[in-house]
């Protein structure tokens, strides 16, 4: 049972202010922000894949 509900009673939804409800729907992620984020993590992500691939090849060649 949720701590916000008492036994035998239905949950009561708290009304959100209209401004807060519309602000969430108006928030869009621009493609520029997405691309800059991907460019920021691309070198580290590439290094992780390179190390993982080298490890896989090493383990395969050694027979493990």
Going by pLDDT thresholds of 50, 70 and 90, the confidence category of residue 58 is very high
Residue 57 to residue 46: CA distance in whole angstroms: 16
pLDDT digits (tens, 9 = 90+) for 6-39: 666 666 666 666 666 565 656 677 888 889 999 9
Q: Which residue in the block uniquely carries the two structure tokens 């800059």?
A: 36
Q: Which two tokens stand for residue 24?
A: 């969430």
| pTM more than 0.85 | no
Predicted confidence band of residue 64 (pLDDT cuts 50, 70, 90) = confident
Average pLDDT of the chain, as a whole number: 80
Query: Measured between alpha carbons, how far apart are the two ends of the chain, in Å?
Result: 49
Report d(CA 28, CA 22) in Å as an integer.
12
Helix residue ranges, H only, the chain: 18-26, 31-62
């Amino acid at each position: 049972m949720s701590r916000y509900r008492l036994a035998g009673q239905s949950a009561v939804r708290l009304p959100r202010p209209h401004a807060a409800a519309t602000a969430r729907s108006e928030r869009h992620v621009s493609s520029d922000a997405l691309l800059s984020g991907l460019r920021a993590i691309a070198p580290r992500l590439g290094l992780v894949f390179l190390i993982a691939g080298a490890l896989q090849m090493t383990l395969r060649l050694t027979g493990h």
